[in-house]
Amino acid sequence: MNDHVTPTAEFEAGTTAPSRINDVRPPHDAPSDIFFAAVKTTRMPMIVTDPHQPDNPIIFCNDAFTFMTGYAEHEILGSNCRFLQGPETDREMIAQVRAAVEKREEVAVEVLNYRKNGSTFWNALFVSPVLDQAGNLLYFFASQLDISRRREAEEALHEAQKMEAVGKLTGGIAHDFNNLLQVILGYVDILEARVAPDDRSARRAVEAIATSANRGAMLTQQLLAFARKQELRDRLLNFNSLIGDFRPIIDRTAGEGATVRRQLDDNLWNCRIDPVQAEMALLNIIGNARDAAGGTGTITLTTRNAVLPGDEADIPPRLDAGEYVVVTVTDDGPGMDAAVLDKVFDPFFTTKEVGKGTGLGLAMVYGFMRQSGGLATARNGENSGAIFSLYFPRASGSVASRPTASPARDAGGRERVLMVEDQPEVGELGREMLRDLGYDVTLCSSGRAALDAMQADRDYQLLFTDILMPGGMNGVALANAIKRDYPHTAVLLTTGFADEAIDEGARSYELIRKPYRRAELNERIRQVLDKPGART
């Protein structure tokens, strides 16, 4: 056999299905060859190609190869291996294989291939020349392995690491930014109360400051939700009820030019989530659907129950098997191309014009869903439009009726409040706000100082403390100590940031998020002090 024969067209681009070449057969002694007998029955997909024939065709494949690709043996024999390639196959990997084959060298690559039904799989491909005793080239042997699950696991890990790194950064920024916004909004309230009603110019200035600060507060909420550092106050609810209660805001968000259709499952299961964050997530997706359709068309809001993997063709990645409540928002816009779809939940990624979006809305949705034990997914519809789905884990129990909200009180009380805040500007502001509301306030900068103050004077009706503080004692630990040693003192926590370890302990107490407004602070204090059984 001529050892100078150069192999031709090996793993080149193309998607045409193979056709049979009738006179192509395995090596003449293959039926009696122990090698081919063993390879035929092994579980690893394997093929042999003949570089001495035009286009280097496949002359042998085992059963594992036909099973992996979905093609029958007669469809494979006589064709070049390129029939497994498709639009997303990496041409650089194919070029590596081609170069190795031309040099008659071994090569190992991981390449995306296509089955007969059009589905893709990651193929760990190893190609080696088969030489005779004289060193002449006889065949090329290729072993293959479907490594799709391994690649998916690696991609999931990479995604999680990326999200965690960005989450730590954004969470830290949001925490510090919330303290700055707290000072701005707090003094806005104080200033507003002191501006004369007829001073329109001053009131417009105060309102402009408040509006900008509130937009900043919303941005930090999105940052914290994406970073999964938002303190969630979940409760058992039915998402159909949330959608019903939220109907006017949903319609307003969709805009006058869009029609909102609701297809709600009458027997929808309950789930345990933070309703405020759930509403924000839903509004973000509806707002994106509105923008995608140009403010017109139809937005369809669907709820249903799902048991995974039974009810789904493919379990969404990174979602455990189990029972879920699925909320889906579908629009009839143009849909998303592959590049956008791949990055749609990435922070700071946006397709909107400059000044029209921060790129944090859907990142916030993703972070909130993961923190809630569920998942947010995005895909294109069969015809057009985008489909966003929120998977909430099912929760057992009955939904409690909503308590009737007590009317807000403008005036505060005369109770004594022990306030603990390590940031001097925030502490001074809080003391000023509470005194302005009529409370008698003592300000401490640490948990240890607060315990010393309580030991010297036990006559405090309320402990109002930040959660994150230096010095070895955070707000939750301080609240636990006060509850143990001074049970007559009520507790109200505040934070602009939290983590899972702190969240668990904080659930025993009422909490107000930073940045809070003057009226909101007074309302929460009155709820704590005026509730039945509270000693003031």
- Judge if 235-393 and 416-530 fold alike in CATH terms: no
* Other residues' Cβ atoms within 10 Å of the Cβ of residue 328: 17
Res. 3 pLDDT band, cuts 50 70 90: very low
Res. 169 pLDDT band, cuts 50 70 90: low
Percent of the chain with pLDDT over 90: 37
Res. 347 pLDDT band, cuts 50 70 90: low
**CA distances to 232, 313, 321, 528 from 306, in Å:** 24, 11, 10, 39
Domain spans in the chain, listed from the N-terminal domain onward: 30-146, 153-226, 235-393, 416-530
Q: For the whole model, what pTM was predicted?
A: 0.47
Residue that wins the pLDDT comparison between 401 and 286:
286
CATH superfamily entry for domain 30-146 = PAS domain (3.30.450.20)
Given this model, what pLDDT does residue 331 score?
92
Q: Say yes or no to pLDDT of 170 above 70.
A: no
Residue that wins the pLDDT comparison between 244 and 155:
244
User: What gap in Å lies between CA 447 and CA 468, rounded to an integer?
Assistant: 10
Q: Say yes or no to pLDDT of 402 above 70.
A: no
**Is 235-393 a CATH 3.90.420.10 domain?**
no
Q: What would the mean pLDDT of 58-64 be, rounded to a whole number?
A: 92
Q: What would the mean pLDDT of 237-251 be, rounded to a whole number?
A: 88
Q: Say yes or no to pLDDT of 218 above 80.
A: no
Given this model, what pLDDT does residue 503 score?
57
Res. 220 pLDDT band, cuts 50 70 90: confident
User: What gap in Å lies between CA 483 and CA 468, rounded to an integer?
Assistant: 18
Q: What would the mean pLDDT of 335-362 be, rounded to a whole number?
A: 66
Q: What would the mean pLDDT of 403-412 be, rounded to a whole number?
A: 48
- At 496-533, the pLDDT tens digits run 765 554 556 677 888 888 888 888 899 999 999 987 65
Second CATH level (architecture) for the domain 416-530: 3-Layer(aba) Sandwich (3.40)
Percent of the chain with pLDDT over 70: 78
Given this model, what pLDDT does residue 194 score?
86
Q: Which residues contact 190 (CB under 8 A, 6 or more apart)?
A: 432, 433, 436, 518
Please report the DSSP string for 181-232 in residue order.
Answer: HHHHHHHHHHHHHHS-TT-HHHHHHHHHHHHHHHHHHHHHHHHHHHTT-S--
User: What gap in Å lies between CA 82 and CA 17, rounded to an integer?
Assistant: 9
Considering the chain, what is the average pLDDT of its residues? 81
Res. 233 pLDDT band, cuts 50 70 90: low
Residue that wins the pLDDT comparison between 413 and 50:
50
